[in-house]
Structure 1
Amino acid sequence: MFAPRICALIWRRRTVTFAAEGDTDMPKLAFALFALILLGGLWGLYRTPPAPTIGGDLHLAAIAPGGATDTPHLVAIQPWMRTGDYRSAATLEHRLNAYLSHARDAGLLSPGSVVVMPEHIGTWLVAADAPAASYSAGTTTDAMTHLILANPLPFAAAFLRSGEEDQMAAAVFRMRGARMARDYQRVFAHLAARYAVTLVGGSIVLPDPQVRDGRLIAGRGPLYNVSAVFQADGSIDRDLVRKVHPIPDEAGFTAAAPVDTLPVFNTPAGRLGVLICADSWHPDVYTALREGGADIIAVPAFLQPSDVWDQPWGGYTTGWPDDVDQSLIARHTEGDAWMSYSLGHRLFSTDARWGATAFMRGELWDLGSDGANILVAGDTAWVAGQLDGASISALPLPASSP
């Protein structure tokens, strides 16, 4: 009858002994667990993206009038972009949709129209769903630092796979590549289908991108500044345009594509060639587009810093072509040079009859921006955009079958 009591006393004694022996460790363990939970919670809050903000002033200073409702147009969209527009794919789509809606209401988006978005319009999807601190950061470096801190392990893995000169930038884009490709296709496929137009989706930086079974896929190879063309049903063309002449700011982490990889696309308005920004300053790419039978040439562009358009031209940063006299550098402003050495002059060396350069403007971190849409028709070129805001510029095109 004493056995249960003896067992109970033994258990109590052992329990008390163990508790006494662990008195010095238990508070430390509890504190460590509490600290880990607290830090985990704070890190989770830090990584949480802010609520999307939709709307805001479009800064739309000018919009071209349309022609007959059945006339297709070549339309250059010069949007005014803000940091908050890249909080998600949905916020970017909403922002760009507002410009296309204005273009449609002006009679510019008839069946067969070709719409051109600016360079790097998709690149800043790298910041989609980033921590709130990325959007309030004063510089792109600080913004990307917060993105890295929120994703340390994926960044470390991408960093080890990146051998580019600017290894940090390469790792950030490589880390986010799969998501960026998906978001980019979602945004521009939706817009193309919604307005039933051929849409040149500006450009985006992606690792070795390819289109497989109708999907844009980020690979594991070199990073490229690329543009995709979306058809009126929202499908993405299997061919991608890769930048041939990266500028110095890009060359540290993006690769130069061979000029013979430039595709030409069939559209209802004719054969379309696309040149990404600095490429439009070099004769070799126009030779490739002429051989491809391009009727229309679209140039997505992004010019920095702010207020450079009327400043003295600094010359080529991507190597001087043989047909440009270097002694002329002091005689031009930046804007003059765009008209003399880019699409505004070089389209005439091809069999193409129409062209448009679309610039991106806005307030994205510390990037700055300048430029105004340029249109080319026949043997005439002119600046069609506004330097102080957003613009929608357009040329009528003949309707034809590809």
Structure 2
Amino acid sequence: MRKLLLGALALVIIAALCGYGFWTGQRPTGHYLSDLRVELTLSEGIPADHGNLLGVEPQLYPGDYQNLQRLHRKLAAYLEQARAQGLINARTVVILPEHIGTWLWARGEKNELYQVTQRREAWQWLELSNPLSYGLAMLGAEGDDRRADAHLRMKAQQMASDYQQLFSGLAKEFGVTLVAGSIVLPSPYVERGILKIGSGALYNSSLVFAGDGSVLGQPQLQQHPDGEVRRFISSGTDQPPQVLQTPAGRLGVLIGSDSWYPSNQQQLVNQSAQLIANPAFLSGKGSWNGPWRGNRHQPLAATLPIKPGEVSEAQAWQQLTLNANPTGISSMSVFLRGRFWDEVVDGQGFASRAGLNLTGAGTAGARLLNLWL
């Protein structure tokens, strides 16, 4: 009798494990409606043969990341509308916001992950749906927030492939130089034109794609991560800012708050940079008009002329970026918009030319910013 009960129990356990394994492999795609409208909130200068900086501030949600087709459809729709307005040519440099690639960790998951309202619930669905890869990632996780590290590390290979496929394809489709925002990956590098990942620390990195879809240079790493991400994202100071030749001029990329520090700008000047792209990200509903939080965890922040709380986020971003921006260099800062579960992302893009700060209208929804060079 005991053997019979044990055998029955073993069968139940095996059936449960098989059922769980089958469930984790199911990835049905639900229906999703998305707003493809975008508004031109800044257009400065006169069209000429020198090209332009075109910032795209997309309004994105978790459902946009369920598959690459959805994300491509939305971003391509924005660029198609820009092209219809005469804002895209062979010398156009398109700038996308910080972390637009980081949310690719959510690609290909169960419908429940996109339907919950809290980010911690989405993490739970991610872990339950990928028990083996999550467990292995936790074993190799680094930093003070090992759980966040594991979420990104477990999807890193897929994220890197998706990132290159999506943004290389967009650059080639529209024939533009494309600064593909940023993505958090473990020790990323480019080998024979392919973005690859290593086994080291996580870095917030950006790639630039040429008009034929090829990669320009190596990943640009964020030098001074700020906020909560510093708990799992490492500083990229071992790989200083690089300058890339584009049809519009020599381009440097500074990720997020890296644009605040004159030393970063000076490194680009030393390489004869003419353009600076600044993909940015700001979390918190209404934070753009709220008190500036600063970057207190970075020692270099003590040298900044503004202290946390003295001005708003908007004033701090514009003043620090403009003050650090050398004369003769045109720059543009571009922010992500939308909502990711309970995290609202805020910010309003701006541009700089000849010491003049240019801001667009503070409208809701997706935005385009254009600066003729």
Q: Same fold (TM over 0.5)?
A: yes
Q: Are residue 241 (structure 1) and residue 217 (structure 2) matched?
A: no
Q: 1:133 to 1:100 in 2, by over 3 A?
A: same
Q: Are residue 29 (structure 1) and residue 7 (structure 2) matched?
A: yes
Matches within 5 A, 1:349-388: 349=326, 351-352=328-329, 354-384=330-360, 386-388=362-364
Task: Identify the match of residue 305 of structure 2 among 325, 334, 339.
Answer: 325
Task: Identify the match of residue 324 of structure 2 among 340, 346, 359.
Answer: 346
Mapped to 2, the partners of 1:313 and 1:245 lie a distance apart of: 17
Matches within 5 A, 1:268-283: 268-283=247-262
**Secondary structure in structure 1 of the residue aligned to 2:344:** coil
Contact 1:72-1:111 at 8 Å conserved across structures: yes
Q: What displacement does 1:47 show?
A: 4.5
**Secondary structure in structure 1 of the residue aligned to 2:155:** helix
Amino acid at match of 1:362: G
Task: Give ranges in structure 1 of 5+ residues lacking alignment.
Answer: 1-22, 398-402
Amino acid at match of 1:91: R
Mapped to 2, the partners of 1:29 and 1:40 lie a distance apart of: 16
Mapped to 2, the partners of 1:202 and 1:136 lie a distance apart of: 26
Contact 1:52-1:84 at 8 Å conserved across structures: no
Q: What displacement does 1:163 show?
A: 2.8
Q: Are residue 389 (structure 1) and residue 365 (structure 2) matched?
A: yes
Mapped to 2, the partners of 1:209 and 1:56 lie a distance apart of: 32
Q: What displacement does 1:108 show?
A: 0.8
Amino acid at match of 1:156: G
Q: Are residue 89 (structure 1) and residue 68 (structure 2) matched?
A: yes
Task: Identify the match of residue 280 of structure 2 among 301, 304, 318.
Answer: 301
Q: Deviations over 1:139-192 (max 9, x none)?
A: 222212211111122222221112321111111211111110000000000000
Mapped to 2, the partners of 1:360 and 1:31 lie a distance apart of: 52
Contact 1:243-1:275 at 8 Å conserved across structures: yes
Q: Deviations over 1:193-235 (max 9, x none)?
A: 0000000000000000111111100111111000000000001
Q: What displacement does 1:331 show?
A: 4.2
Mapped to 1, the partners of 2:18 and 2:291 lie a distance apart of: 53
Amino acid at match of 2:234: A
Q: Which moved more, 1:217-226 or 1:26-35?
A: 26-35
Contact 1:112-1:268 at 8 Å conserved across structures: yes
Contact 1:173-1:205 at 8 Å conserved across structures: yes
Q: What displacement does 1:46 show?
A: 4.9
Which structure has the greater CA radius of gyration?
1
Task: Identify the match of residue 142 of structure 2 among 163, 168, 171.
Answer: 163
Task: Identify the match of residue 290 of structure 2 among 308, 311, 325.
Answer: 311
Q: Are residue 45 (structure 1) and residue 23 (structure 2) matched?
A: yes
Q: Deviations over 1:23-58 (max 9, x none)?
A: 764576356435533553355335523315455113
Q: Are residue 132 (structure 1) and residue 111 (structure 2) matched?
A: yes
Q: 1:144 to 1:283 in 2, by over 3 A?
A: same
Identity %: 34
Q: Are residue 224 (structure 1) and residue 191 (structure 2) matched?
A: no
Structure 1 length-normalised TM: 0.86
Mapped to 1, the partners of 2:125 and 2:25 lie a distance apart of: 9
Mapped to 1, the partners of 2:340 and 2:208 lie a distance apart of: 25
Task: Give ranges in structure 2 of 5+ residues lacking alignment.
Answer: none
In structure 2, what is the equivalent of residue 18 of structure 1?
none
